[in-house]
Copies of this chain bind each other. A is one copy, B any other.
Amino acid sequence: MKKASNDHRSRVTRMLIRRAFTQLLGSMPPERISVKLLCEQAGINRGTFYAHYDDVYDLLGQLEEEMLEDLKRALAPLMPMGEAPDDLEAVTAAVFQCLKDNSDLCTVTLGDYGDKAFLNRLLSLGRSACMSVYSRCFSQATPQQLDYYYAFASSGCIGLLRKWMEEGMSTPAGEMARMAERLMRTGMGFLQDDAPK
């Protein structure tokens, strides 16, 4: 990992790279993007790229890292450290909002050509927080059951996120959070008719 200089030129260069990268990712998966093509698109020298990143995947990883830092920053005030957050819905809403703020990247990392590794990092981030809430609310469940429930709920939220992005994120983040909360807690039953099964 190279160190990130704060020189004005460096920041401009990195911005050019990021812009070119997200543009290209809109039309092709990352594995099809060569450093050469990326640099042509960004209008920089190829050697310059290597001064900032190891390769295309290093670039992708660093962009994701920045986003996760954003997310952590946004969530920090809502999460008393080491403790279960009292308002889980507010946390969820903050997540939706943050991803909306980084939508240029998210539509890619979470999109069809997206990066599974990033999803995993996103999930493990929320894991500890949710588990502490779970074990408080669902004290009867076994740890293994809790694992399965978190796997279901967190992955479900990702699906919700993806759908939300497909729709252009027009629904307010708060409303999405409310929907997520309800789906996790009560499933789809609250909508059910009297129809059988």
Please report whether the interface of chain A is mostly helix, strand, loop or mixed according to DSSP: helix
Q: Which residue of B lies closest to A183 (CB)?
A: B152
Residues of B near A180 (CB, < 8 A) are 152
Complexed CA–CA distance, A172 and B148 (Å): 14
Which of A37-45, A94-102, A135-143 is near enough to bind chain B? Answer: A135-143
A151 and B159 in contact, given A86-B197, A140-B193, A193-B137 (Cβ under 8 angstroms): yes
**A138 close to B192 (CB less than 8 A):** yes
Instruction: Verify if A103 is at the interface (C-beta below 8 Å from B).
Output: no
How far, in Å, is A152 (CB) from chain B's closest CB? Answer: 4
A binding-site residues for B, Cβ under 8 Å: 30-31, 57, 86-88, 112-117, 120, 134, 136-141, 144-145, 147-149, 151-160, 162-164, 167, 179-180, 182-189, 191-193, 195, 197
- For this complex, 9 residue pairs linking A to B, each with C-beta atoms less than 8 Å apart, are A113-B116, A137-B192, A138-B192, A145-B191, A152-B157, A152-B159, A153-B156, A155-B158, A184-B188
